[in-house]
Amino acid sequence: MTTASQFRVADAPPQNWVDRWAPAFARPYMRLMRLDRPIGTWLLLLPCWWSIALAAEGWPDPLLMLLFAIGALVMRGAGCTFNDIVDRDFDAKVERTRLRPIPSGAVSLRAAWVFLAAQLLAGLGILLMLSPLAILLGFASLGLVAVYPFMKRVTYWPQFVLGLAFNWGALMGYAAAANRLSLAPVLLYLASIAWTIGYDTIYAHQDKDDDALIGVKSTALRFGPMTHRWMWGFYGAMTLGLVAAGAAAHLGLAYYAGVALAAAHLASQILRLDIDDPARCLALFRSNRDFGFIVLAAIVAGRLF
């Protein structure tokens, strides 16, 4: 008898809610959206919330934060669906990804394209509820989303392109709240790119052996045993960028106390990192959600105090 666990992807939590509660017919599509692995949604959403808070005079707009939460859930799902369509042949050769819905046969290629179109339409509905500038920025991000899955074929720096795409919300959130951009969200965006290169390098170390065999490139392979030194550079750039963004936004001293706590969190990731321990890499990668909430709390505190 086939059980839900037989189709659970390796890095999904064993008791995730999709396997436990979702209807059987919906599970393959929910896995395609990565609803069984919500960390990616958090990492997409948090830069949006940061910039919404950065644009606020006091507390960030709760309705706007809700809209971005729904949008991040839908668009992360769309991005993962497109990524799995493009990478289906590679995924079938990698132990961690061979049970994803498309290579496992749980979702056909045609059904995946239809599902992708439905998600993009839902995302468009959310986008059209935002400010004119945010709408323009939203459309501009589609090019980055489209090219990202192909970057691992041509460069050892696909994490850089992921950073460009995944942190676009650091611009969109501010634009949605203020219908303009300023230096502070731009600095936040640039800093977040360095953050993404760092945490996704940790993530990529899980697949480095398989990637090397099948010819897929990543910063994990590029950095190799020098990963820790590179991580200090990227996470250091993130910390300096947060300081610069706070100064540009004239945030209060409470913000910098929060940034110090966030920097300590990043340092602990590097100190605990074992690039040859996939379980440790996955746990450290997931811990970036906590880092994101520390930064969010710091921005709100910097605005309120």
Gyration radius of the chain over CA positions: 19
Of 188, 194, 163, the C-alpha closest to 174 is 188
Main-chain dihedrals φ then ψ at residue 143, nearest 5 degrees: -65, -45
Max CA distance (Å), the chain: 61
Among 208, 199, 173, which Cα is nearest to 63's?
Answer: 173
pTM of structure: 0.91
For residue 189, CA distances in Å to 103, 226, 244 come to 34, 26, 11
Question: pLDDT of the chain along its 305 residues, tens only?
Answer: 344 445 556 566 667 788 888 898 899 999 999 998 899 999 999 999 999 999 999 999 999 999 999 999 999 999 999 989 998 887 787 777 788 899 989 999 999 999 999 999 999 999 999 999 999 999 999 999 999 999 999 999 999 999 999 999 999 999 999 999 999 999 999 999 999 999 999 999 998 888 888 888 999 999 999 999 999 999 999 999 999 999 999 999 999 999 999 999 999 999 999 999 999 999 999 999 999 999 999 999 999 99
Helices of type H across 205-252: 208-214, 219-223, 227-248
User: Domains (ranges, CATH) in the chain?
Assistant: 26-304 (1.10.357.140)
Q: Indicate the SS3 state at residue 33.
A: coil
Dihedral of the CA atoms 118, 121, 125, 126 (nearest 10)? Answer: 70
